[in-house]
Amino acid sequence: MSGRRVAGAVLFGAVAAFAALGPEVVAADPARQSLADYLTPPGGAWLLGTDHLGRSLLARLAHAARLSLFLAAVCVFSAALPGTLLGILAAWAGGLVDRALSALADAVLALPGLLLVLLIASFAPGRFWPLQVGFALTLAVEFFRVVRGTSQRILAGPAVEASRLLGFGPLYIVRRHLWPDLAPLIGTLAALSAAACVLGMAALGFVGIGLRPPEADWGLMMTELFPYHAEAPWAIAQPIALLFLTVLGLLLLAGRERA
Amino acid sequence: MSALRVENLAVRSRQGTILHPVSFALEPGTTVTVIGETGAGKTILAEAILGILPAELSASGTVCLAGAAFAAEERARAGLWGRTVTLLPQEPWSALDPLMRARAQVFEVLRAVHRRPRSAARAEARRELAALGLAGEGRKYPWQLSGGMAQRAALAATRATGARVLIADEPTKGLDLALRDAVVALLAAERDAGRAVLVITHDLAVAEALGGRILVLRQGRVVEEGQTREVLRAPRHPYTAALLAARPETWAPRALPQVGEAVVKARGLACRLGGRVLFDGFDLTLGEAETVAAIGPSGVGKTTLGNLLVGLMRPDRGTVARRPGLASVRFQKLWQDPPAAFAPHITLRRALADVCRRHDVAWAEAERLLAALGLSPCLLERRPDQVSGGELQRVALLRALLVRPVFLFADEPTSRLDLLTQAETLRLLADLAAERRVALFLVTHDPAIARALAHRVITLGA
């Protein structure tokens, strides 16, 4: 593994550990208000300070991290699985199936991703599932296109022709020919998609769609802390920094190995 | 004065010497041919002359171009590229810019190298292409040109430089016989026009046709040099003699096995590819242990015919009838490019073990074949890209033989292999096919191979 990828793994691993263990380790309740302590700077009793309602920022960040990463993982999984399977199907079947699936993918691509999420979110405001469906749909198109293109090239080659002639079935061809080439691509795409998902979720939270207060979410935290950016820049900097570290970690992790 | 003089030119890598000191002179209006097999250091020699060696290699010695001497290590002769010395690269399709029309690529040379005005450059580019028989093709992109046309377009761009020294690196690689002769004629015309031509090739026929002087390169050493005609007539070094003996033209005729009952019968085959009719109403029958060779220019449908026989394609019309009771897996194929015919990520042992498991063949059979094909068992631990082309083609033959084929379609199985390897591979293929009474459909571009190995030769596109 290259140094970049190690750095990415360490960064993302730290955020993931914070998301997994933070809510257990931090005793404070993320929703508990203590108005007397509003906007306390970091240090002392409040390790990372408090927000405008006197809630512990550390506790809120930890809970937000868990939620964001969980949602991202669900989105990536529900995008990668159908995207990959349909991509292989389109490359394999060709003809009408390929054209229909590709047309569908193009139709989804024709809309900006966030707009599509907004459209679906308007069916059930404040609920999680429309966000997830919207993200999964836009992200699945990426998986579909990459997997389809790579599979088409491999399936047309003499190596697959040889395997077919030697009597091997589709499962063998997927396992021995397609998967070794697809796996690294899917890994890269998954990291990029997770980053896009975390960013998109934060953006939606920031414009007030998506999750509702008092739920803790990085985007929502930014919205809430934005009015206080002049008095307490350190407060709004925290969710931004965590988001930045997560995305940076994922992008470094996704980076191609240099040959 | 020599157009190009090379003195004690040597190339080293960190691991050792790649090219031992070479000296030769190239006069205007003559050719020098450097001949050798893969890995002999031919391309390294060309790169060292031009000064475009990869950074991890270092050169020593002197290169004299246009009367000026350069230390091999110097970069200063970059100023002579395209003016005094020019390179006709391997594989014209990849040498040409895929996004530029043919004429624009010649035009660009005239503008950039000779600073010709636009209109003059345009007219001259048109003339250059017309002189090489590409009058109507100037507006085409490289991918719309055939291999031969692309080679001529690349030569037109090279010629437009007007350089006095032309270095051609494997100019006939991947071309069929007719195109090869055409390219050789083009190079001879350049020589007759007063240019000094250095040709790097693995093809003895190219050297023979061009005449002039020859350097025989083996593992980075010049083992023999002299007048081409004399060296080819009476080689002094055993390696040169071995190379000459490996030429299909000189093979002794084989004792061909008795042909048995028919294995596959094709009747009234018709096939079109990309809107072009390849053949129509074509009949062919192959019997047990029979070898039929198909020859003809590229793109005439030799591979398509083989794919129809082996069952990879269906004909538009007509039938391919196999002897009843034969499983389809007993019709096998050998591919032109061995590395492309194996899954790249798994070891050869795993690939062969998969076949054994799929068809209930004992592993001992694979080991027996390994010995029969003269392959070392340690090859099996490697992946396809870690094995030489000749060895890998033998592994491909082994893989096909594991399923006890009755019919084998060999699609130019040795066209990417060196002469000596080709002779060895084809001998094994013919021996094993005869011993196991396999019907062999051999596609080749070399009539001498077809004559030497086949019961019957069919010429397509005649």
Which distant-in-sequence residues (6+ apart) come within 8 Å of B58 by Cβ? B11, B12, B13, B73
Dist. CA B50–CA A104, nearest whole Å: 53
Q: What are phi and psi of B407, to 5 degrees?
A: -140, 135
Q: Does B344 touch chain A (CB under 8 A)?
A: yes
Give the minimum alpha-carbon distance from B411 to chain A in angstroms, rounded to a whole number: 11
Asked if residues B358 and A167 have their Cβ atoms less than 8 Å apart, the reply is: yes
Dist. CA B70–CA B353, nearest whole Å: 56
Residues of chain B neighbouring A159 (CB-CB closer than 8 A): 340-344
Residue A208 has pLDDT above 90, yes or no: no
| Residue B353: per-residue pLDDT | 94
| Cβ <8 Å between B332 and A165 | yes
Dist. CA A22–CA A14, nearest whole Å: 11
| Cβ <8 Å between B329 and A165 | yes
| Residue B253: per-residue pLDDT | 81
Q: Does A234 touch chain B (CB under 8 A)?
A: no
| Residue B421: per-residue pLDDT | 87
pLDDT above 70 coverage of chain B, percent: 99
| Residue B32: per-residue pLDDT | 94
Give the minimum alpha-carbon distance from B286 to chain A in angstroms, rounded to a whole number: 19
Residue B309 has pLDDT above 50, yes or no: yes
Residues of chain A neighbouring B328 (CB-CB closer than 8 A): 167
Sign of the torsion formed by the C-alpha atoms of B68, B71, B72 and B76: negative
| Cβ <8 Å between B358 and A163 | no
Listed residue (B428, B422, B429) closest to B448, CA to CA: B422
Alpha helices of B137-274 — where are they, by DSSP H? 147-159, 177-192, 204-210, 228-233, 238-245
Confidence at A20, pLDDT banded by 50, 70, 90: confident
Q: Which residue of chain B comes nearest to A155, CA vs CA?
A: B343
Question: Which pLDDT tens digit goes with each residue over A147-203?
Answer: 999 999 999 889 999 999 998 989 999 999 999 999 888 988 888 888 788 778 777
Question: Which pLDDT tens digit goes with each residue over B16-74?
Answer: 888 999 999 999 999 999 998 877 888 889 889 988 888 888 889 999 987 888 888 87
Q: What is the gyration radius of the CA atoms in chain A, in angstroms?
A: 22
Residue B164, CA atoms < 13 Å, CB-side half-sphere: 15
| Cβ <8 Å between B355 and A166 | yes
Confidence at A212, pLDDT banded by 50, 70, 90: low
Give the minimum alpha-carbon distance from B412 to chain A in angstroms, rounded to a whole number: 14
Give the minimum alpha-carbon distance from B404 to chain A in angstroms, rounded to a whole number: 11
pLDDT above 70 coverage of chain A, percent: 86
Q: Please state, in angstroms and as integers, the Cα–Cα distance from residue B355 to each residue in B138, B300, B348, following that order.
A: 50, 33, 11
Listed residue (B324, B299, B343) closest to A177, CA to CA: B343
Q: Identify the residue whose tokens are 């290169």.
A: B63
Burial of A175 (0-12, 13-18, 19+ CB in 10 A): middle
| Residue A258: per-residue pLDDT | 43
Dist. CA B133–CA B147, nearest whole Å: 14
Q: 3-class DSSP state for residue B439?
A: strand
Residues of chain B neighbouring A157 (CB-CB closer than 8 A): 340
Helix axes A179-206, A218-225, angle to 10 degrees: 30
**DSSP-derived secondary structure for B304-358:** HHHHHHHTSS--SEEEEEEPTT--GGGEEEE-SSGGGGS-TTS-HHHHHHHHHHH
Interface of A with B in 150-179 (CB under 8 A): 157-159, 161-168, 172, 176-177
Q: Between A94 and B441, name the one with better pLDDT.
A: B441
Give the minimum alpha-carbon distance from A177 to chain B in angstroms, rounded to a whole number: 6
The complex's ipTM? 0.74
Asked if residues A86 and A144 have their Cβ atoms less than 8 Å apart, the reply is: yes
Asked if residues B216 and B35 have their Cβ atoms less than 8 Å apart, the reply is: yes
Question: Which pLDDT tens digit goes with each residue over B137-159?
Answer: 888 888 788 777 888 888 888 88
Per-chain mean pLDDT for chain B:
88
Confidence at B457, pLDDT banded by 50, 70, 90: very high
Confidence at A259, pLDDT banded by 50, 70, 90: very low
Residue B376 has pLDDT above 60, yes or no: yes
Residue B77 has pLDDT above 50, yes or no: yes
Residues of chain B neighbouring A168 (CB-CB closer than 8 A): 354, 358
The encoded tokens of residue A29 equal 């309740």
Dist. CA B418–CA B314, nearest whole Å: 34
Residue A257 has pLDDT above 60, yes or no: no
Q: Please state, in angstroms and as integers, the Cα–Cα distance from residue B142 to each residue in B40, B112, B121, B128, B166, following that order.
A: 30, 20, 20, 16, 22
Q: Between A43 and B64, name the one with better pLDDT.
A: B64
Q: 3-class DSSP state for residue B169?
A: strand
Question: Which pLDDT tens digit goes with each residue over A6-18?
Answer: 888 888 888 888 7
For A146, which DSSP code? H
Residue B352 has pLDDT above 90, yes or no: yes
Q: Nearest Cβ partner of B312 from A165, A166, A167?
A: A165
Q: Identify the residue whose tokens are 């002197």.
A: B62
β pairing state of B331-334 and B221-227: unpaired
Dist. CA A193–CA B406, nearest whole Å: 51
β pairing state of B331-334 and B407-411: parallel
Q: Identify the residue whose tokens are 């010049």.
A: B222
Dist. CA B42–CA B50, nearest whole Å: 13
| Cβ <8 Å between B335 and A162 | yes
* Average pLDDT of the residues in B219-226: 91
